[in-house]
């Protein structure tokens, strides 16, 4: 059976107290809507298979979701979940299984959805329900004495006995297209909230002699919706703990899984140790035996085997070869490429620079727009003056060069193979290979020189 997914995302989300539409708030760096869209894509992608019902924050939602391959249906006025699905009624195919998803329920798992959809082979209507100790606010699943579902009653329409029911409607359901269309045509807004409830199709199905299929998710967090920022934070942590758990099961040591955040797609090797408060963003790949210290942020980067990143370092769009040592307090900016066994030490900033094997930049330096050869030693406080106020220029430092401390390399400039630069030099012209190049005023000592004294008045 073809699967068509409808994502309900028109609600305002008043309790977020936000100018951003609710479904554009993020979990693990990805908008909630994107999570749900990605889940729908796993059931089948392309025109006619995913429909997003939107309303509040329409322009912003469309803008943020340009890359989606989906049909969009505007629900101008939000008159209930049934009204929302009705807006897309002509899009629904008779012979499909229609999966109803909520844009603000971001952590639903594909395996749960697959099971739910499988239930539509036996019954035209399958519901995902969950038992909650605090069912307040949810639609309650009303069953008869044999345990078959009779209907769903919303909180505001429920009597005291119904309010005591702990099995609730998650909102997620799978319905055969032809049946959904017929039941949608029969729902009314005759209820406490004056809304068209999608949940009314359950009662209608039962009237038609249908036995409603139900199932529960493996984990209640999967079906939790987000209405406020506390719930957002709560689900963020459930999401992160899930990723952390998977990593630990695959041989990664996390010093504290509750202080570890992933906001993107990562791959991590074996015997990697990650200390607290590490954030991985975008696409990050980490080799085997890597050690990452506390408070490190890595985005869109590749780390080879045996790399050590010490505390408080920030690495962005960089490639780090096997056996490199970075930090503490290092900043690698985009287009940094470190070959094997390079050392980058504290308070060093590197940008758009390649550093060949075995070179060391250990203290307090800025190296930008540079090509650094192998086995180069760059002393403390070295600066590449790469910017003349209008353009960026390149610095080339060839293999085996030694740059003395507190050197300024005014680009464009080349330091030749095995050249030595004396400490405190300002290098404005190329330094030849094998020679010592030095540019500082001669040291003088003045006999009898007196320090100025404080004036008395
Ligand atoms: C709904 C269910 C309730 C269930 C609960 C689970 C109905 C009538 N009730 O409650 O049984 O326990 O979800 O959270 O279905 N939406 C629209 N357009 C609308 C109204 C809602 O797109 O006109 C979207 C919202 O953006 C949201 C979802 O539908 O993603 C659910 O809406 P919400 O108002 O939270 O659901 P309730 O009616 O409270
Ligand atoms: Ca809700």
Q: Are residues 203 and 233 in the same domain?
A: no
Match 């287009």 to its residue by tokens: 335
Cβ neighbourhood burial of 395 (10 Å; 0-12, 13-18, 19+): buried
- 11 and 118 in a single domain? The answer is yes
Q: Is residue 452 part of a domain?
A: no
User: Best substitution site from 9, 11, 58, 180 to test ligand 1's pocket, by max atoms within 8 Å of Cβ?
Assistant: 11
Does residue 80 belong to any structural domain of this protein? yes
430 vs 401: CA distance, rounded Å: 13
Domain ends where: 223, 253, 285? 223
Atom of ligand 1 nearest to the CA of 13: 26
Would the annotation count 94 as a binding residue? no
Cis bond before residue 88 (omega within 30° of 0): no
| Residue given tokens 């869209």 in the structure block | 37
Number of structural domains found in the chain:
2
Same domain, 373 and 265: yes
Q: Does the global pTM surpass 0.85?
A: yes
Active site residue 393: no
Residue 143 lies in a domain: yes
Short-list 48, 47, 50, CA closest to 39:
50
DSSP 120: T
Token pair for 392: 């960026």
Tokens of 412: 């464009």
Which range of residues forms the domain containing residue 271? 229-446
- 306, 285: one domain: yes
Start-to-end C-alpha separation, the chain: 98
Is 207 within 8 Å of 182 (Cβ atoms)?
Answer: no
Residues 6 or more apart whose Cβ sits within 8 Å of residue 352: 333, 334, 335, 336, 368, 369, 370
Catalytic option among 234, 312, 363, 393:
363
In angstroms, the CA 228 to CA 172 distance is 20
Q: Note whether residue 455 is domain-resident.
A: no
Among candidate residues 195, 223, 251, the one where a domain is terminated: 223
Q: Is 174 annotated as a binding residue?
A: no
Helix (H) or strand (E) holding 366: strand 366-368
Which of 87, 171, 175, 231 best tests ligand 1's pocket when mutated (most atoms within 8 Å of CB)? 171
Using the mean position of ligand 1's atoms as its centre, give its distance from the Cα of residue 93 in Å: 23
Number of helical (H) and strand (E) elements in the chain, helices listed first:
8, 39
CA distance 5 to 28: 23
CB of 390 closer than 8 Å to CB of 373: no
Q: What is the CATH number of the domain that holds 387?
A: 2.160.10.10
d(CA 150, CA 139): 13
186 and 278: one domain? no
- CA distance to 83, 136, 140, 211, 246, per residue, from 150 (Å): 22, 20, 11, 9, 39
Upper half-sphere CA count for residue 139 (Cβ side, 13 Å): 24
Q: What is the DSSP string of 61-119?
A: HHHHTTT---EEEE-SS---HHHHHHTTGGG--TTEEEEEEETT-TT--HHHHHHHHHH
Q: Phi/psi class of residue 295: alpha, beta or left (left: φ > 0; alpha: ψ in -120 to 50)? A: left
**CB–CB of 127/212 below 8 Å?**
yes
Q: How far is the CA of 145 from the centre of ligand 2 (A)?
A: 29
Cα–Cα dist 415/428, whole Å: 10
CA angle 30/36/39 to nearest 5° reads 110
81 annotated as ligand-binding: yes
Do 113 and 127 share a domain, yes or no? yes
- Residue 457 maps to a domain: no
- Number of alpha carbons in the 13 Å side-chain half-sphere of residue 320: 38
Measured CA to CA, the distance from residue 356 to residue 327 in angstroms comes to 18
How many angstroms does the Cα of residue 227 sit away from the middle of ligand 2?
7
Mutate to test the pocket of ligand 1, among 24, 31, 55, 81 (most ligand atoms within 8 A of CB): 81
Residue-wise pLDDT tens for the chain (457 aa)?
899 999 999 998 999 999 999 999 999 999 999 999 999 999 988 788 999 999 999 999 999 999 999 999 999 999 999 999 999 999 999 999 999 999 999 999 999 999 999 999 999 999 999 999 999 999 999 999 999 999 999 999 999 999 999 999 999 999 999 999 999 999 999 999 999 999 999 999 999 999 999 999 999 999 999 999 999 999 999 999 999 999 999 999 999 999 999 999 999 999 999 999 999 999 999 999 999 999 999 999 999 999 999 999 999 999 999 999 999 999 999 999 999 999 999 999 999 999 999 999 999 999 999 999 999 999 999 999 999 999 999 999 999 999 999 999 999 999 999 999 999 999 999 999 999 999 998 899 999 999 999 998 8
Q: Do 297 and 421 fall within a single domain? A: yes
Q: How many A from CA of 65 to the centre of ligand 1?
A: 21
> In whole angstroms, what is the distance from residue 450 CA to residue 4 CA?
89
What residues are in contact with ligand 1 under a 6 Å CB criterion? Answer: 8-11, 53, 75, 78-81, 83-84, 102-104, 138-139, 152, 154, 168-171, 197-199, 225
Strands 96-102, 167-176: pairing is antiparallel
- Max CA-CA distance within the chain? 111
Nearest CA to ligand 1 atom 26: 11
3 state SS of 40 = helix
Tell me if 417 sits within 8 A of 441, measured CB to CB.
no
227 among the known binding-site residues?
yes
* Peptide bond just before 412 cis, omega within 30 deg: yes
Q: Consult the annotation and say whether 200 binds a ligand.
A: no
Q: Do 265 and 392 belong to one domain?
A: yes
- 291, 440: one domain: yes
Q: Is there a contact between 275 and 257 (Cβ–Cβ < 8 Å)?
A: no
CA nearest neighbour of 344 among 395, 307, 387, 299? 307
pLDDT value at residue 127: 98
Single residue among 223, 240, 274 that ends a domain in this structure: 223
Q: How far apart are CA 410 and CA 412, in angstroms?
A: 6
């Amino acid at each position: 059976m073809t699967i068509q997914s409808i994502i309900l995302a028109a609600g305002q989300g008043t309790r977020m107290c936000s100018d951003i539409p609710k479904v554009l708030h993020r979990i693990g760096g990805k908008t909630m809507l994107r999570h749900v869209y990605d889940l729908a894509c796993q059931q089948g992608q392309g025109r006619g298979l995913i429909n997003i019902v939107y309303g509040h924050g329409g322009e912003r939602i469309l803008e943020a979701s340009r890359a989606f391959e989906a049909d969009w249906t505007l629900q101008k006025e939000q008159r209930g979940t049934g009204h929302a699905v009705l807006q897309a009624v002509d899009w629904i195919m008779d012979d499909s299984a229609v999966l109803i998803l909520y844009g603000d329920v971001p952590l639903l798992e594909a395996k749960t959805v697959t099971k739910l959809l499988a239930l539509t082979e036996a019954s035209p209507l399958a519901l995902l329900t969950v038992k909650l100790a605090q069912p307040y606010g949810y639609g309650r699943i009303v069953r008869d004495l044999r345990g078959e579902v009779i209907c769903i009653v919303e909180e505001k329409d429920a009597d005291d006995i119904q309010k005591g029911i702990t099995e609730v409607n998650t909102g997620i359901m799978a319905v055969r297209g032809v049946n959904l269309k017929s039941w949608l045509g029969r729902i009314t807004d005759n209820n406490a909230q004056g809304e068209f409830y999608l949940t009314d199709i359950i009662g209608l199905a039962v009237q038609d002699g249908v036995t409603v299929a139900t199932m529960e998710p493996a984990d209640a967090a999967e079906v939790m919706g987000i209405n406020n920022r506390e719930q957002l934070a709560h689900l963020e942590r459930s999401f992160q703990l899930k990723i952390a758990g998977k990593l630990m099961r695959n041989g990664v040591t996390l010093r504290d899984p509750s202080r570890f955040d992933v906001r993107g797609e990562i791959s991590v090797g074996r015997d990697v140790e990650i200390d607290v408060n590490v954030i991985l963003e975008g696409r990050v790949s980490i080799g085997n035996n890597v050690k990452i210290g506390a408070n490190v942020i890595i985005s869109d980067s590749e780390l080879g085997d045996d790399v050590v990143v010490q505390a408080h370092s920030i690495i962005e769009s960089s490639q780090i070869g096997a056996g490199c040592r970075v930090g503490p307090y290092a900043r690698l900016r985009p287009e940094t490429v470190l070959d094997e066994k390079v050392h980058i030490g504290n308070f060093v900033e590197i940008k758009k620079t390649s550093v060949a094997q075995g070179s060391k930049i250990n203290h307090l330096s800025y190296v930008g727009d540079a090509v650094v050869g192998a086995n180069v030693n760059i002393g403390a406080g070295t600066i590449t003056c790469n910017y003349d106020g209008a353009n960026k220029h390149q610095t080339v430092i060839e293999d085996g060069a030694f740059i003395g401390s507190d050197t300024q390399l005014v680009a464009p400039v080349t330091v030749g193979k095995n050249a030595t630069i004396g400490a405190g030099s300002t290098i404005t012209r190329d330094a030849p290979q094998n020679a010592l190049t030095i540019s500082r005023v001669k040291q003088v000592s003045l006999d009898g020189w007196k320090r100025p004294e404080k004036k008395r008045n």
